[in-house]
A = this chain, B = another copy of it.
Amino acid sequence: MLKVQKIVELTDSSIAAGDPGLKISGISSFDDAGPDDLTFAVETAYLSRLDQTRAGAVLVPDSFSPEKRYKAALLKNPNPKLSFFKIVEHLYPAPKLKEGIHPSAVIGENLTIGKGSCIDANATIGRDVTIGAGVHIMANAYVGDGSTIGDGCEIKPNVTIMERSCLGQKVIIHSGAVVGSDGYGFAQNNGEHNKLIHTGYVDIGDNAEIGACTTIDRGTLGVTRIGSGVKTDNQVHIAHNVKIGNNTLVVAQVGIAGSTTVGDNVIIAGKAGISGHLTIGDNAIVGPYAGVSADVPPGEIVSGIPHMPHKTWLKVANVISRLPGMRTKLLSMDKRLKRMESDKTE
């Protein structure tokens, strides 16, 4: 239970309208909220419907000027979404980690483990593993020999981290994800594909988050590197020796082939595929379903298979369904042209 005044203080907001003494006990989405709930509105689609939410209080952008009176208290804030989730965290604090190793967890020789860390039931930790402080390794997860897990990491149930992986601080790895599997590299010999020993490893920067059932292959030689603050969604495939810069977003079911380098602050939308040995520049955006088979310069937005400037793709997308009509037109114009040509000859 929080008074609106307290929310204002916690989020550094200002009250644009409403009673600072109003009590808020829950959080909810704009459309599901009730009179005891806090919600937030950022996009015009919601701000224009402020009279429709039943929420008790709404966090809105600083720039918003209410043109009428609303039932809800309005709290102005520079980042309403971020502030909203601060209050969520306040109302639903994460359960405190209980330091300790569950007796059913199996721990290899020579574990180094920091303060306040917790290893849950049926987890398996290899030898020569270093685990920082405040780390939570959940049930049935696996951490391979010689791996390093930084302070504050969360390794969810059934995660696999293969040998010699290196995770920075506050990395979250969701269930079913695999870090450090062998890359897909073979030496062809007489029609057979001979396995290459993969001596490389995976390095993941601070504050990265890896989605459920995402797979990150180790370097064949050397490193596969995921930058700080990178967030991958579920079922992303990152091949051997890929390098991804800081704060880059990789949405669900994207595939990035071997040895490709992706810059900082890039967005790769859902289901896009990027071929191997390419460079995607900083701040580039790759659209959904795009098939990228050449370098993308910094800041460019590309879409389509094959990829093209996004603005071109928007026009192309508009034409594709008209292709049958265009073909019919073309054929009939050819006939008309022929007719004129033959008329002229006669």
Contact = CB atoms under 8 A, between A and B. Distances in A.
A291 B289 contact: yes
B255 A271 contact: yes
Interface in A287-326: 288-289, 291, 293, 304-306, 308, 312-313, 315-324, 326
A240 to B, nearest CB: 10
Given A255-B252, A334-B329, A178 B175 contact: yes
Nearest to A283: B191
A222 B217 CA distance: 33
Given A106-B102, A317-B306, A323-B319, A273 B255 contact: no
Copies of this protein, total: 3
A327 interface: yes
Interface in A179-207: 181-182, 184, 186-189, 191-197, 199, 207
A151 interface: no
A317 B294 CA distance: 13
A64 to B, nearest CB: 17
A178 B142 contact: no
Contacts of A234: 178, 181, 184, 215, 217, 237, 239
Interface stretch (A65-73, A111-119, A120-128): A120-128
B291 A291 contact: no
A106 B160 contact: no
A121 B124 contact: yes
Contact of A181 (B27, B211, B320, B343): B211
Given A122-B140, A270-B255, A334-B329, A212 B181 contact: yes
Contacts of A27: 199, 221
A312 B326 contact: no
Contact of A252 (B220, B237, B247): B237
Interface stretch (A2-10, A16-24, A80-88): A80-88
A89 interface: yes
A158 interface: yes
A76 interface: no
A53 interface: no
A212 B157 CA distance: 16
A29 interface: yes
A221 to B, nearest CB: 5
B189 A172 contact: no
**10 cross-chain pairs, A with B, having the tightest CB-CB distances, nearest first:** A106-B121, A124-B139, A82-B187, A160-B175, A315-B324, A142-B157, A181-B212, A308-B321, A178-B212, A215-B234
